[in-house]
């Protein structure tokens, strides 16, 4: 191989390595961008600092709607106990979902949450959620799954309805992206 070919080969190899590194870095960069902007309905986790800064706004009411679905690969039924509730920004609330394994074998599921409209998601924080961990249900088992949340008091006054939605996936048949979202749920959601 002559020197010119070797030089071209090295340049191509550097470009390929750079592109691979850039592609690898896009996932965490995208997650940070979504956390900051609320894009894709990603919500936050309420910290002690966040909770201590909340001022209860008795004059503002927000309707939180609840939605639950399952991916077709998951033999479960999953739905909220109540389909909506009126909340006061700055106060803590708990909602419940019910999941039931319709299969004749154990199934592990992972919930991936989102909030709509997207701009409301940055004002919706959870302190406890079944989506933080994988859920194992035995054949025919039914389980109540609570989520404790707060709609932050700094939510804009023009947002008066938001929807908290969960999609449960079969943990064994999830794509790599879904598994990453599910395993990061504790940190991001």
Flag whether 31 is in a domain. Answer: no
Flag whether 1 is in a domain. Answer: no
Pairwise CA distance, residues 111 & 69, whole Å: 9
Q: What is the domain count for the chain?
A: 1
Pairwise CA distance, residues 159 & 162, whole Å: 7
pTM of the model: 0.66
- Which contacts of 23-27 are long-range, i.e. CB under 8 A and separated by 24 or more positions? 27/180
| CATH code where residue 146 lies | 2.60.370.10
Q: Which is nearest to 94 in space by CA: 72, 66, 136? A: 66
Report angle CA 129, 118, 50 to the nearest 5 degrees: 50
Phi and psi, residue 157, nearest 5°: -65, -25
For residue 141, what are the domain limits? Answer: 38-188
Q: How far is C-alpha 13 from the geometric centre of its chain's CA atoms?
A: 37
Flag whether 118 is in a domain. Answer: yes
Q: Are 79 and 97 in contact (CB under 8 A)?
A: yes
Per-residue pLDDT of the chain (189 residues), as tens digits, is 788 888 888 877 787 776 666 565 544 544 444 444 444 444 555 555 565 666 787 888 999 999 999 998 899 999 999 999 999 999 999 999 999 999 999 999 999 999 999 888 888 988 888 988 999 999 999 999 999 999 988 899 999 999 999 999 998 754 444 445 544 443 433
């Amino acid at each position: 191989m002559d020197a010119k070919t070797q030089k071209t080969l090295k340049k191509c190899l550097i470009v390929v390595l750079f592109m691979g590194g850039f592609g690898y870095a896009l996932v965490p960069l995208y997650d940070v961008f979504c956390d900051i902007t609320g894009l894709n309905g990603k919500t936050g986790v309420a910290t002690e600092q966040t909770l201590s800064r909340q001022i209860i706004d008795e004059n503002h009411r927000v309707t939180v709607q609840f939605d639950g679905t399952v991916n077709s690969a998951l033999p479960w039924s999953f739905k909220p106990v109540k389909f909506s509730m009126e909340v006061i920004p700055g106060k803590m609330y708990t909602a419940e979902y019910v999941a039931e394994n319709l299969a004749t074998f154990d199934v592990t599921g992972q919930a991936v949450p989102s909030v709509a409209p997207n701009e409301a998601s940055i004002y919706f924080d959870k302190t406890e959620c079944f989506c933080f961990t994988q859920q194992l249900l035995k054949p025919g088992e039914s389980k109540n799954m609570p989520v404790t949340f707060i709609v932050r008091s700094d939510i804009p006054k023009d947002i008066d309805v938001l929807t908290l939605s969960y999609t449960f996936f079969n943990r064994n048949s999830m794509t790599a992206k879904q598994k990453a979202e599910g395993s990061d749920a504790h940190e991001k959601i």
